[in-house]
Amino acid sequence: MTDGYYLFTYLEIDPLGSVYGLSQRHDCNVSLWEKNGETVSLKRYWELERLTGRKEYRGAFCDVEQALCFLNTLLDEFGLTTDDMEAILGTPGLDTDDKYADDESTRTISYHSICHLFSGILSDTEIFYHQNIIGLAVDAGPDVLIQKDLKELFYYAGCVVDHGRVTIFPVSSPALLWMIASSHYQLKEGTLMALASASKSKSLEQFSACLDKQMDGDAGKFIKYFHELVSRIDGYEEKEKERLFNEMDPLFSVRDNKISMVMKEVQKVSINMMATNIEDILEEYLIDPEQTYLSVSGGYALNCPTNSYLLEKYHFKDFITAPCVNDSGISMGMALFYFWKNMGTFNFKLQTAYYGCVDPLAGDVFERGIYRPYIAGITDFNEAVFVSDINRAPVVWFDGASEIGPRALGNRSLLAAPTSLYMKDELNRIKQRQWWRPVAPIVLQEKAHEWFKDSSHSPFMLRTFEILSDKRERIPAVAHIDNSARIQTINENDNPLLYRAIQGFEEATGVPILCNTSLNDRGEPIVNTAEEALNFALRKRIEIMYVNGKRVQLQNHQAYPSDRPLTRRTLVEEPPVDERQRISAQYNPYGIDDESLGLYYMMPEVYASYDLRDKDSSRFLHLFTSRIKKMVR
C-alpha cells in the first residue's frame, strides 16, 4: 500500500433520499487516515449529526458533485482535497476502488457487520497481534448499498482472534428486538434500558422466548415474541399483584411500570442471547476466557449491563472496543478492515475518544458583538474556583476536540457534583429528561476501585459497576436503583484538564468523581462548537462555562432572545419546489406516502428488492408497509 492519506465515508448518494431526508444509512460519518510505513493514524473523525444538528443523521446527497464538495469542505482543515487521497472508500459513487469490500468473510456475512467487528478488535493492534480476543458485532442489521443481496448472508459477525489470526463466523444479535420495542413505545433504546432498571416493578411469570439463534435479521420471531409479551403484561390488573407481578412502583405511572416490566424481560432475553453466543464460541474453540479479551461492537454494545454481565460471568481478561460502537463507527471499521486486509500487519491504537471536530473559532466567539452583553468575565482555569462553581450548580464544559461516538466523554459535557441528589434532578431538568434518568459518573482511573466493586478501566462509558456499600450515600446523584453506575474512567494522559478539575474536587471533598452528562438539549445532538455551547448555557440559565481552559462567567440570560438550539451547518441545500417535484416524479412516480418511504429506506431487503419506479413494486410496497405499520403498533 502507498503511504499517504485515505478517506473512508459512510454516506449515501440518492436523489430521492436527498429530497425526503432519507437514507439506507444512519449516523453517517467520515474519517481521515494517514499511512506512514507500518503505522496508521486517525487524523479526524466527522459525525454528520454533530455537524448538522440532526440526531442519528439520516440523509443523502443528490449527486457525486454535491458529496465531493462536502468532503472538500471537511478536508480544508488539513489543507487537503479529495484529489490528495490515495483512496476514497465506503460510499458507492465516491469509491476509487470497487474491491475493498471483497473478502472471504464478506461472501457469507454482511460487510456492514464485519466493519463493526473490526472497529472493536483492531482498536489496539498491540492486543490484536499479541493476545486472544472474542469479538461480537451485534446491531439491528446492515444496509444494502455495498452488498445488494442480503438474502444469502448472515447479518451479524463474530470472531476469534489468536495472536493476529482471525476466524470469522455468524452470531446472534438481540438488537432487532430493541428496535421493535423502541418503535412500539416511541422511546429510544437507551431510555428503555434506563426505565427497565429504574422501576421496582417486575413480572413474576416465566416467558419462553426461543430466540437464541437469530443470525439473519428475520424480524418475524422478534415481533411475535415482543407483542405476546406486551399483550400479556399490559393485561395485568391490580388484583393480580403478587401472583403475576410483584408491585406497581408508586413513583411511576401504570404505563411506565408495565414498560419497565416488559423491558426487564427483553433485557433478560438479550443477555441470554449474548451468553449463548459466548458459550458456543468457548466450546467450539476451546478458549480460556481469563486469557482472552472481549470485544463488543454494533449498536447493542451500548447496553452496558450486558457488557458487564459477560465480563463478570466469564472472567474475561479485559474489554476492548471503540467509543463509536454504533453506526457512527462504521467508517472506522471500514478503515481498519481495509488496512488489515491490504497490509497484514500494521500499528494503530485508538488512544482516546477525542478525534472529533475542533472548533477553530472557540476563542473568538465571546468577543463577538452579539454576545458581549452576556459575558461578565473571562479568567484562566483555577481548581479552587472550579470546585466552588460546581458545588453551587452544574457547569458547561467544552474542551479541545469532540468525542467520537454517541456518549459525552468529557469534552462536550454538562458537569455537576455527585454528592447531592439535587444535582441529578437539576441535570435532568436542564436537559428536559425524565426524572428517573440516570447520570453517569466520571472518575479518576486510579481511584475507581475505591468507589466501585471490581471496577476496571472504562474510558468509553460502556460498563456498569456496583457502587461500594460504604460509598453510596456520598454519591447519590450517580446511583441507579440497583446501586450500580455506568462509569467512565479518566487518566491524566487522556484528558489532562478534566483530570485536574476532578483532582481539585477530590482534594476539596474527598470524592474523585463528577456527574457527567452530554451537552445537548432534548432532541439535539451533542454540541459541536463553542457558540452552540454558549447558546445552550444562555438558554438554560447556566452561569459558568469552561471553554478550552478559560472560565467564562455569563450574565443577562433573560435578555437572550433564543429558546432554541443554534442552527447548525446545512449539508444539502433544499432544492427549489420545482426540482423537488421533478425528482419525486422521476423516482417515486406512483406517489408512495412519506411514512411508507421511511419504512422502505429502513428495511434493507425491501429496499434492494423493489424499485419505486415499477408499478407492481409500488403496489406491493404499499400493501407491505401498511401491514408493517399495523404490526409495529
Cα–Cα dist 331/563, whole Å: 35
Closest CA to 562 of 371, 367, 431, 426: 371
Out of 3.10.450.50, 1.20.1440.20, 3.30.420.40, 1.20.1090.10, the CATH code matching 110-333+341-350 is 3.30.420.40
Report the pLDDT value the prediction gives residue 605, as an integer from 0 to 100. Answer: 85
Segment 32-82, tens digit of pLDDT: 999 999 999 999 999 999 999 999 999 999 999 999 999 999 999 999 999
% of the chain exceeding 90 in pLDDT: 89
* Whether residue 215 has pLDDT greater than 80: no
Mean pLDDT of all residues in the chain? 95
Hey, what CATH class is 365-555 in?
Answer: alpha beta
State the cell numbers at 459: 474510558
Closest CA to 262 of 187, 202, 177: 202
Cα–Cα dist 590/623, whole Å: 13
The total of other beta-carbon atoms located within 10 Å of residue 559's CB is 9
Segment 441-469, tens digit of pLDDT: 999 999 999 999 999 999 999 999 999 99
* Whether residue 633 has pLDDT greater than 90: no
Segment 277-314, tens digit of pLDDT: 999 999 999 999 999 999 999 999 999 999 999 999 99
Report the pLDDT value the prediction gives residue 417, as an integer from 0 to 100. Answer: 99
Phi, psi of 13 (to 5 degrees): -115, 115
Report the pLDDT value the prediction gives residue 563, as an integer from 0 to 100. Answer: 94
Q: Are 291 and 166 in contact (CB under 8 A)?
A: no
HSE of 346 in the Cβ direction (CA atoms, 13 Å)? 24
* Whether residue 129 has pLDDT greater than 70: yes
Segment 504-532, tens digit of pLDDT: 999 999 999 999 999 999 999 999 999 99
Report the pLDDT value the prediction gives residue 632, as an integer from 0 to 100. Answer: 60
Strands 544-547 and 395-398 come out as parallel
Same fold, 110-333+341-350 and 365-555: no
pLDDT (average), residues 564-590? 89
pLDDT (average), residues 121-135? 99
Report the pLDDT value the prediction gives residue 144, as an integer from 0 to 100. Answer: 93
Report the pLDDT value the prediction gives residue 219, as an integer from 0 to 100. Answer: 81
Closest CA to 210 of 197, 195, 221, 194: 221
Report the pLDDT value the prediction gives residue 575, as an integer from 0 to 100. Answer: 80
Q: Are 625 and 598 in contact (CB under 8 A)?
A: no
Segment 337-381, tens digit of pLDDT: 999 999 999 999 999 999 999 999 998 999 999 999 999 999 999
Report the pLDDT value the prediction gives residue 366, as an integer from 0 to 100. Answer: 95
Can you give the residue ranges of every domain in the chain?
A: 110-333+341-350, 365-555, 588-632
Segment 305-348, tens digit of pLDDT: 999 999 999 999 999 999 999 999 999 999 999 999 999 999 99
> With DSSP H G I counted as helix, E B as strand and the rest as coil, what are the percentages for the chain, rounded to 5?
40, 20, 40
Phi, psi of 619 (to 5 degrees): -65, -45
